[in-house]
Structure 1
Amino acid sequence: MIITIKDIAKKIGVSYSTVSKALNDSPLVKQETKDKIIKLAKEMGYEPNYAAQRLVSKRSNVIGLIWPTLERVAPSALITKINEEISKHNYSMILSINSIEESVEMFKRFQVDGVIVFNRDNIHMPKTFPMPIVTYGVNQNNSIPVIDVNYKEAMNAAVEYLNKLGHENIAFLGDFSFIDERQVEKYQGFQQAMRKFGLKLNNYNLVNTGGLDWYDGYMATNRLLSSPFKPTAIIGTSYDISAGIVRALRQANYIIPKDMSVISYDNIPQMENLEVPLTSFGVPVEDIAQQMVTTLLNYIEDSDTVPLSPVLTPKIAERTSCALAGKNNK
């Protein structure tokens, strides 16, 4: 038997509207009455009619999230934090790993209130969407809010950190395919920082991984170690690449950080759980999640005005993978 608001109202002796307001935590109902109604609703097994609520409020309280790949660790960590943040605002999340176009069509059928988009290459984003949408990466599209995590500043901070430890021969391992604006920002940021601090750039300390996976970082490190260039520190541009760097160094009998300092992009807790806990730079994953959800909810409230695209500040998470250059004896 389905319990309705009318059943609760009849049982407790109040109007239907009073029960409805109490169940929606309205300040118009006295707290004593509200507590009594909520307690009775639980005892009777009342379940809200979400379909009816949607017709009245024109809201589904559902957010769609598009992420075309879940293969890497950092994206999975961010999705978890986003889901936690969405739940704090009494919303639910639907995740799609289909293309942006396919996902948007599906979310239209589900009548989601808004969508968070993670574009694999941060390019070819549609100019218009049928619902409020927020993305992240490099802010070059003013038609939708972009949460800019300031990749260049993260690379600048990493180089400065290593330079203060006395490192001058610094290698940079990242994907140079240039189809992903986020990787381009890191690549350019590293070079700008090296010039800023008067450090040398050459053909050997810029190492193209050709991808963003663990194996890409592993193979690129092996190529670096067999080259004439002998760095005292390595910067990896993602968690997965850096995990490959650590494995290759350990297989070559390098002790981190005694023989080689390693620092990584991606400020996620999982850095602590690598073979060697890595010092990392980047915007903390919980800060990205909070900013994305807050921006989207503001956009949903006023869909006629596109919110400003904030630029977040990278931070350091110091662990045990970096040492003074003088301690590098390899």
Structure 2
Amino acid sequence: MAVTLKDVAKACGVSYSTVSKALKNSPLVKPNTKAYIQQKAAEMNYIPNHSARALVSKRSNTIGLIWPSVDRVAVTHLVSEINQALKLSGYAMILSIDGIDVASKKFLEFGCDGIIIFDEGPSTNLSPEVYQNIPVVAYGVDRDIDYPIINVNHYKAMIMAIESLLAKGVTQIDYIGDINTSDSRQIAKKNAIVDYCQQHHIYYRIIDSHGLSALEAESAVKQFYAQNELAPGIICGSYDITLGTLNAIDLDYNQPIIYSYDNIPHITKLNYPVHAIGVPTTEIANKVVEVLNQVITNGSIENVYNLEPHLNEK
């Protein structure tokens, strides 16, 4: 039979409320008493009944995150950062790799306090049944949806990369990215390259990575590289595409200047110098959780929260 708070209180010779406060690490309980209660609870294998607590507080302290991809390093790292930010805010995170409709409705049924979604455009729109009944925050690009979105300005990040290449004297650029997609984040990156280069008469090529994973990018770049020389300046649409690109080309023969979207620490550990562009993942994660907290507590003030990309040169 499960150990209850009353069982722990009886074993410790204190009141139910004292045990409750001690297990919540309340400063109202003396440190020695708190340590004793926490140790006793652990010895008795006490497990908090979150369902019962949720009935009283009307909060489950859980957040549902709809996982967009299981095979990409950059996404996995960002999700880990979001999980850490949620923990610091007192939440536990539940992941789902199901489709948008199934996952969001399950989170609603489970009584989650909120949902985080990676917005890719119309295909990831949540139904009113969901966002009218549970706080939602999306990560993506600035577009018209009915719940707050964290915009990390992919378009501006690409322009910053181009301008940095130009400042280094590079006037020929290859962009390697996922082209034939409905993902608004990838579309914004490609459009920035095309728009800026055409407007400023810069030589550029678009190389389709045929996906966002390292393996897909490696295969696509190898096919291109077998027939063509690469430009002296390369901009990759994601960290995983950058990995695939580095694996596909002969870096002893070609030594291009490479910029990679996804500003994650992994880039600094690559053997080849790669410059990172984009909002740092810790900043994204903290903003997502900050806004979600705000929506849960007070409702949304803004529809779009803009973050500024950074350029980290190696």
TM-score by length of 2: 0.86
Structure 1: segments with no counterpart, 5+ residues: 320-330
Aligned twin of 1:317:
312
Which shifted more, 3-12 or 206-215?
A: 3-12
Q: How far apart, in 2, do the equivalents of 1:67 and 1:7 lie?
A: 39
Q: How far apart, in 1, do the equivalents of 2:269 and 2:31 lie?
A: 47
Distance verdict in 2 for CA 1:105–1:223, change over 3 Å: same
Aligned twin of 1:73:
73
Aligned twin of 1:185:
188
Conserved 8 A contact 2:148-2:300: no
Aligned twin of 1:213:
213
Q: How far apart, in 2, do the equivalents of 1:67 and 1:35 lie?
A: 38
Which shifted more, 12-21 or 132-141?
A: 12-21
- Quote the offset at 1:68 in angstroms: 3.8
Q: How far apart, in 2, do the equivalents of 1:78 and 1:149 lie?
A: 13
Q: Deviations over 1:199-225 (max 9, x none)?
A: 4246xx233333323344332464267
- Quote the offset at 1:48 in angstroms: 2.3
Percent identity of equivalent pairs:
38
Aligned twin of 2:4:
4
- Quote the offset at 1:95 in angstroms: 0.9
Conserved 8 A contact 1:238-1:265: yes
Q: How far apart, in 2, do the equivalents of 1:109 and 1:56 lie?
A: 17
Structure 2 counterpart SS, 1:170: strand
**Amino acid across the alignment from 1:318:** E
Structure 1 counterpart SS, 2:272: coil
Q: How far apart, in 2, do the equivalents of 1:113 and 1:269 lie?
A: 30
Aligned twin of 1:226:
227
**Amino acid across the alignment from 2:305:** P
Aligned twin of 1:50:
50
Q: How far apart, in 1, do the equivalents of 2:38 and 2:230 lie?
A: 69
The aligned runs of 1:1-330 (5 Å cut-off) are 2-10=2-10, 14-26=14-26, 34=34, 37-38=37-38, 40-42=40-42, 44-119=44-119, 121-124=120-123, 125-128=125-128, 129=130, 130-194=133-197, 198-201=200-203, 205-218=205-218, 219-220=220-221, 222-223=223-224, 226-227=227-228, 231-250=231-250, 253-256=252-255, 260-302=256-298, 304-305=299-300, 307-319=302-314
Q: How far apart, in 2, do the equivalents of 1:10 and 1:280 lie?
A: 57
Q: How far apart, in 2, do the equivalents of 1:36 and 1:106 lie?
A: 39
**Amino acid across the alignment from 1:223:** F
- Quote the offset at 1:109 in angstroms: 2.9
**Amino acid across the alignment from 1:20:** S
- Quote the offset at 1:283 in angstroms: 1.0
Q: How far apart, in 2, do the equivalents of 1:214 and 1:35 lie?
A: 48
- Quote the offset at 1:293 in angstroms: 1.6
Q: How far apart, in 2, do the equivalents of 1:55 and 1:45 lie?
A: 23
Aligned length: 309
Q: How far apart, in 1, do the equivalents of 2:36 and 2:89 lie?
A: 25
Q: How far apart, in 1, do the equivalents of 2:13 and 2:216 lie?
A: 69
Q: How far apart, in 2, do the equivalents of 1:230 and 1:284 lie?
A: 28
Q: Deviations over 1:86-141 (max 9, x none)?
A: 2222321111111011112222332211111124x432302422311111111213
Structure 2: segments with no counterpart, 5+ residues: none
**Amino acid across the alignment from 2:167:** K
- Quote the offset at 1:163 in angstroms: 1.0
RMSD between aligned alpha carbons?
Answer: 2.7
- Quote the offset at 1:159 in angstroms: 0.8
Distance verdict in 2 for CA 1:21–1:314, change over 3 Å: same
Conserved 8 A contact 2:222-2:249: yes
TM-score by length of 1: 0.82
